[in-house]
Amino acid sequence: MPLLPPPDALTIAFAHQAYGLAAEFAGRGHPARAIEARSVDDLRARIAEADVVVASGLWRNDMIEAAPRLRFIQSVSAGTDQFDKQRLARAGIRLASAQGANERAVAEHAMALILGLQRQLHLARDHQTARHWRPMIGDRTAREEESGGKTLVVVGLGRIGLRLAALARPFGFRLLGVRRRPGPCPEVDALLPPERLHEALAQADIVALTCPLTPETEGLIDASALAALRPTSLLVNVARGRVVDEPALIAALREGRLAGAGLDCVHEEPLPPGSPLWAMPNVIVTPHSAGETRAYETSVIDILLDNLGRLARGEPALRNGLV
């Protein structure tokens, strides 16, 4: 039996502070009524009207009680840790992620952070702003780095991690993967289970975090994990901020126990003005923009329409279904 009203009786709330999801949906010819929210307060004010919500960062779990018609949430992001899945299940609300919508963009962003740190592009930009022509460097340890022969450890070999491994291969990296699921993985040179993470870190020139945030991965890169790295190593995080113990990371960077970090996600977003990460010369911070791409709305609405069709046909399986 279909979970949702007929398409022409359906109301969908698109909730995102920036993305043009409602406009993309309107161009697809679907008969559902679309409403748009640009803030948490906007969504709270309209959620009682919605049969479907398309949201990520603007979602709050206490909205469940204010949404008697709500039966399906399409997450705008691949990460869904903001949704209380048990509460949704008890309320009879289905949930699907946007996994795959931005895997290419996130992997490319991770690769850009790796190369940017190795080639010191952030310092070059600082010098450009200061109109400073940096002289040649006599200290070999302070020069730009090459990729060939370096070891890249990819923690999390889902779609993003595997795509990152494929991008890194032509640069000559030796690739180590850390993944919970055993079995063949030809995309990397060696595959290690999570309990051997420190063994992998000890070999790393660069560590790239591409894993989801789960109870098992929260705080995964803690003080002991950072101590397993060499002082010349780099850390790139395109996963979630809470995968890393941020105070321990800041201490390692300050004390020269880690050469640098490229961070697309941090514990508190936006990054507070007082965070020491802003001013660290060996850190590149991007505003959780790894997944942003000009094609993002198209990809999310493709997934939404697929799932609306499945729900209309009464199919139990959703694309990227979680609840």
| 94-105 confidence digits (pLDDT tens) | 999 999 999 999
According to DSSP, the residues that pair with 151 across neighbouring strands are 174
Q: What's the CA gap between 275 and 16, in Å, rounded?
A: 26
Give the mean pLDDT of 136-143.
Answer: 96
Per annotation, catalytic residue among 30, 122, 179, 240:
240
Q: What's the CA gap between 11 and 278, in Å, rounded?
A: 42
* pLDDT tens per residue, range 48-59: 999 999 999 999
Per annotation, catalytic residue among 30, 71, 122, 288:
288
Q: Is 269 a catalytic residue?
A: yes
Cβ atoms within 10 A of the Cβ of 307, count?
21
321 exposure class (CB count in 10 Å sphere: 0-12, 13-18, 19+): middle
CA atoms within 13 A on the CB side of 56: 17
* pLDDT tens per residue, range 286-315: 999 999 999 999 999 999 999 999 999 999
Let me know: does 19 contact 291? Beta carbons within 8 Å.
no
pLDDT at 2: 74
3-state secondary structure of 96: strand
Q: Is 288 a catalytic residue?
A: yes
Q: What's the CA gap between 40 and 86, in Å, rounded?
A: 22
Output the DSSP codes for 63-95.
GGGG-TT--EEEESSS--TTS-HHHHHHTT-EE
Per annotation, catalytic residue among 146, 216, 269, 315:
269
Give the mean pLDDT of 105-114.
Answer: 98
| pLDDT classification of 144: cutoffs 50, 70, 90 | very high
